[in-house]
Structure 1
């Protein structure tokens, strides 16, 4: 599922850096860059992004003005606020506005990648039209706490013992090339589809992240990495 990202940042160099960071995240596509809030308002309506990477300070006003407009219109758009501000006030306002995350500049590539990967996993889990359980809510709202969830609250189709084996594959991983679903399947003796289900679950709880790696013949492969 492709995530459409709009970058709203008045500094051209930082906007381009965030564009390059975003394009490294599998499943993310930058659909536009706005350097002014007025341009951002037009792009929100024209491009219909799923996610806005929003700076806080602009010459014409604060980025939280745009956040409030999005919420008042009940648009299905999530916002990650990116700012150099270290005061508590903007953070409180951002939290009241329901931002997905709050990043403080300068943002490291690793933190940026982690944030967008979690957002993509979050969107994927929200796609399901089935009834939800408490664990699903905890995973969406409190991803760190959900890692400690006991086996009896795991979602249907996820077995605690098998999950522990999949975790162990990455705990014992010595190289940085990641693992494919096929690699994990062969290592612990499960099917590829089962392996993929467990790997995607570990992404949803924030233990792993995935990236598309191109081999020597240019064929893309989804590989999984430990955080």
Structure 2
């Protein structure tokens, strides 16, 4: 049985994550901490196999906790969860040995895929006397496949990066999907889909402007 520690400052999200985790065979949530310091106190006297760790929390944030876990040589794997998709954060946690990085709002199936992959990896590395190259290749391929699946159906990586860069370049302005579409020479329907996706990742701010006549305007701005 894989022992899991959930570290999340929102009690409702913590309970939902516990429910998700325990629907996957082979996993048991042994404790839910409301912040990094509480988690660190728990880890002083208890061992866990896996921590599902939110990044932004009071007292001790997720990245600081991960650094402290590594500094103290606490043997546990970590999956980071955050609403912010910032490349420097992703790069840093991967360097610190996080086995995966989930971006809110993630779907249950994405978490399940991560846990299915993790339990196979855990059993391979902890219960097999001899590991072959094909075993390592399988683990690496699974990780790459999971990262690729992070993009929703109809969302293409290159187009997403183009629109992300455009919005960041115009970060001082609120823009409509029509304005973005015209400047980028992309269809308005396509742009609207990508803008809404970036809002769901909390990379863009959405403001709705209600006029006296006609439909309300959806205005998008890069979140600094």
User: Partner of 2:62 in structure 1?
Assistant: 63
Change (3 A) 1:57 1:118: same
- Distance in 1 (alpha carbons) for counterparts of 2:53 and 2:88: 17
CA contact (8 A) 2:37 2:60 kept: no
- Rg larger in structure: 2
How much does 1:71 deviate? 1.2
The match for 1:98 is 97
Say if 1:128 and 1:9 are closer, same or farther in 2 by CA, change over 3 A: same
Residues 109-142 of structure 1: CA deviation (Å, up to 9, x unaligned): 1111111111111111112342222112212333
In the other structure, the counterpart of 1:132 is 131
Q: Judging changes above 3 Å, is the alpha-carbon distance between structure 1 residues 125 and 112 closer, same or farther for their aligned structure 2 residues?
A: same
Which consecutive unaligned segments of at least 5 residues does structure 1 have?
147-227
Deviating runs (4+, > 3 A) in structure 1? none
1:34 correspondence with 2:33: yes
Residue 45 of structure 1 deviates from its aligned partner by 2.3
* Partners of 2:142 and 2:105 in 1: CA distance: 24
CA RMSD of superposed structures (Å): 1.7
**Contact (CA 8 Å) 2:35, 2:60: kept in 1 or not?**
no
Gaps of 5+ in 2: 146-224
